Structure 1
């Protein structure tokens, strides 16, 4: 190289051009893929690459994004509060998103500060050019959805069906049908259904499908809402469980596994035998980070694969593919356990 450089200084294309003895434009052609009819010999190309490596050159990501009109980054918006990596469902979704981004050679950006902002600030953050597209985990009623519809930002939904938006879901309805048939086969006639506390299209599909199928077998369903997303029992539900014999309730179906495990904990603390006194069924089938006391009867939904397919769907959209599926429904698996 024909000159020295300071290791503490940010290396520019001009520095490399001066070191190698070529034009800055030639360096840009080699390092940044600048479009040009200029042919660069293999020897010169090797010298430029060697110089860039030795001098610690790092390309300007912002400039490259402006030039290519793409950041190569996909975003995630989670509309149900905080993403908690230690939560089994959240962890599986994040695993699938990362796997999908790796396959598609994309980076993933997750924003954790949305709770501070209103919908306008959230939309501005998402549509401000930091990301090329968005994977959305949110209720169809989330006010952000309408803002996104009117924008140029590509986005897809997962877990919940959002009308008019390409999405990937697990077959929640089919799983709930299997649960109803399982309990009918065991002779249950009165079932408590524990639904989630907020708006969730996925949870609603499960509940409606279960109630409809249970009715076909003459099963009566009493629906209650848990006090939080982890399935904590409130006073009204505890009272209902205390009166389960007079109400003929012999089984409880929970919209998610955490809700089922919370109920199992209550049963253990209150001498309610499972499944003799009360059968308990969950949904999701995600492997827990600890060994549960009971092997839960549940429905296995592969949320990592759902997330991975959502990334692929978004990338297909960004690549301009014309045949984009409106809704991809992935199969689930009924997994009988010890609790029913």
Structure 2
């Protein structure tokens, strides 16, 4: 079976009894001195529908210098949709693109490409703009800051690039206030195994507020976040931290940098015979609902990651249109009191 050839603009014009210029004005929005009557416009649209005409996207982009495509680049390697945070951010970006009539392209660089080659690929005309998640020291961050491609950073702010973030520092403050209000005095803080800027900010917020409130904070060993492939020893409390809960002066609360390890640590402590939250409270961060129903409704700081993703797209669109945008847009977070504190 031979594949049907798409109708051409010339064929549409011939069937509608008009010139090619008139058909181009109606179907492609071409700028021309040709005036098209309502009657001819209707005829062109009717024939285009009958022949299933589709405008040539490449030709349109050459004319408008726009592709209608924005990209997303992650400097944190894998974009894993099983990660609830990634799913929320991606959903937000898709919502923003739908609202503005844009398409979203995930860019995955090959490992053998240099940072310069990656930026050259991103800014070669296929994208109108780019949303990026990366640390400031990532080689691509400095290159994008001086490139002509409109760029917005998401979640972790980048120097010289407009950024859309959640109020991570205040989120850490809320965690400390929540535990102090519930009478806790000795808290184990479990950090991330990777220095995300937003995660470091929430730690600083917690530490600063805990000092004001008189909370004793024990710095625990880092744990992994969402990766399903990690082993049990990487997914839960380090043995030295776990041993703290067999002592008379054990911590009465655990603050974890992210919800996924917080759920695992709560299960670990419960399986060891500690009652949650009567004997030990567990507080997470992010507020992204897991795909399966959890054992507890976790106490956590909810960051509006879906809204962050959508706002990043809107901010990028404004940049593409030549508008001025804030250097940083910070969205509020909220403390959610669940069943684990």
Same fold flag (TM > 0.5): yes
TM-score (norm 1): 0.91
Cα 1:7/1:161, change in 2 over 3 Å: closer
With 58-67 and 19-28 compared, the bigger mean Cα shift is at 19-28
> Residues 233 and 263 of structure 1 are in contact (CA less than 8 Å); yes or no, is this contact kept in structure 2?
no
TM-score (norm 2): 0.90
Aligned to 2:30: 34
Deviation of 1:291 after TM superposition, in Å, equals 2.0
1:211 equivalent to 2:204? Answer: no
Deviation of 1:225 after TM superposition, in Å, equals 4.4
Aligned to 2:291: 289
Deviation of 1:233 after TM superposition, in Å, equals 4.6
Partner Cα distance (1:185, 1:233) in 2: 32
Cα 1:181/1:198, change in 2 over 3 Å: same
SS at match of 2:164: strand
With 218-227 and 329-338 compared, the bigger mean Cα shift is at 218-227
Deviation of 1:261 after TM superposition, in Å, equals 0.8
Aligned to 2:328: 327
Q: What whole-Å deviation, never above 9, does each CA across 1:147-194 have from its counterpart, x for those lacking one?
A: 111211101112112122211111111121111122223333332211
Q: What whole-Å deviation, never above 9, does each CA across 1:63-91 have from its counterpart, x for those lacking one?
A: 11111001111111122222222322111
Cα 1:225/1:319, change in 2 over 3 Å: farther
SS at match of 1:253: strand
Give unmatched runs, 5+ long, in structure 2.
none
**1:103-122 matched pairs, under 5 angstroms:** 103-112=99-108, 117-122=113-118
Partner Cα distance (2:339, 2:321) in 1: 47
Deviation of 1:285 after TM superposition, in Å, equals 1.3
Count of paired positions: 334
Partner Cα distance (2:272, 2:110) in 1: 40
Partner Cα distance (1:259, 1:140) in 2: 26
Cα 1:305/1:320, change in 2 over 3 Å: same
Deviation of 1:264 after TM superposition, in Å, equals 1.4
Aligned to 2:309: 307
> Residues 258 and 285 of structure 2 are in contact (CA less than 8 Å); yes or no, is this contact kept in structure 1?
yes
